[in-house]
Amino acid sequence: MNKFQWQEGLLQKIAALCEIFPAVIRNRWQDRLKYNSEKITAYEGSSLVTEDIFWRSVYEVFPGGYEPLILKVKDPAKLKADMIASREQENLEPGTEPVKITRWMNSADTAAAIPQGKKILAVNSSKRTGGNTDVIIDELVRACKDNGSAVEKFYLGDLKIKPCTGCRACRKGDVRTICTVKDDMTEFMYDKIYSMDGFIMGFPIYTARENGIMANFMDRWDCLSNPYLTRKMPGLKKGLVVCSWMWPNQIAYDNIVENMVILLRLHGVETKDVLVITGTRGKKHGKGVVKNHPDILHTTYQAGEDFLRAL
């Protein structure tokens, strides 16, 4: 017998929240919400799942990108106001858009000397040259160059990078070209990855995950874990990740960014900082509305200097 009691109407709210899910996974999400709500209730020494406990559980279980779905059930009026505000953002004056930057680095030793002569590889998977991701990467590149580092920047969408074929040759023995696929990765990008001191990568989120160009690029890193490779990654490289999305929620897709940080670590790159740019809607003034915000550019430049200190 279930020892927990639920405040009236909460089980119906679970059903409403999970209604959007196809039947094949709906029960999974319902079970997660029930289990987590009861776990919090037990931890607090109670047997009654309250409204407050329930919504805390929802925000723990659902990724941040599910906020519109949550508000649809919890506070439809706020969802409507948020959607209207997002559309009206197109009409705001340059510099007044609600664009935000979030840095994940907890602290930096700003007194530490910045090393000279480092080699930085920067890649952008957005096809929008001059867009928000691009503007932020360029400011990081400027900080690195101003402080004595050599930087090479590439637009991944302009390179010839084929998909991983799943041949698994990189799990069977040494591969002289690292990967058997012949393209710009084997022609020069692997060499640049091996020789870099620091790695800056940027990608936008369009559909609740990293964009396809970045996903394809990272698939091609898998061969770097080949245990038979004679050319090993020389120690952990240092990385900085840039990610941007349009929705103003600053934690909406943190889980996607965290997955990328983990993936990089598995392939020899330790991420030292993350810059998340949110609320970027503003096409009326052209691409890259973040360029209208000197405070964000200043924070970005400082992040570039701190990144060099971490190398």
Every domain of the chain and the residues it spans: 5-89, 100-309
The pLDDT assigned to 1 comes to 41
The pLDDT assigned to 284 comes to 64
Instruction: Let me know how many helices (H) and strands (E) the chain has, helices first.
Output: 11, 8
Mean pLDDT computed over every residue of the chain: 94
pTM equals: 0.92
| Span 131-186, pLDDT tens digits | 999 999 999 999 999 999 999 999 999 999 999 999 999 999 999 999 999 999 99
The pLDDT assigned to 110 comes to 84
161 touches 216 (CB < 8 A)? yes
pLDDT greater than 50 at residue 208: yes
Q: Of the candidates 110, 99, 141, 34, which has an alpha carbon nearest to the alpha carbon of residue 278?
A: 99
The pLDDT assigned to 228 comes to 93
The pLDDT assigned to 87 comes to 83
Question: CA–CA separation, 75 vs 79, rounded Å?
Answer: 6
In sequence order, the 6+-apart residues with CB closer than 8 A to the CB of 175 are 169, 223, 226, 228, 229
The pLDDT assigned to 283 comes to 65
Least confident of 4-8, 108-112, 277-281, 285-289: 285-289
| Span 23-82, pLDDT tens digits | 999 999 999 999 999 999 999 999 999 999 999 999 999 999 999 999 999 999 999 998
Amino acid (one-letter) located at 30: Q
The second-level CATH assignment, the architecture, of 100-309 is 3-Layer(aba) Sandwich (3.40)
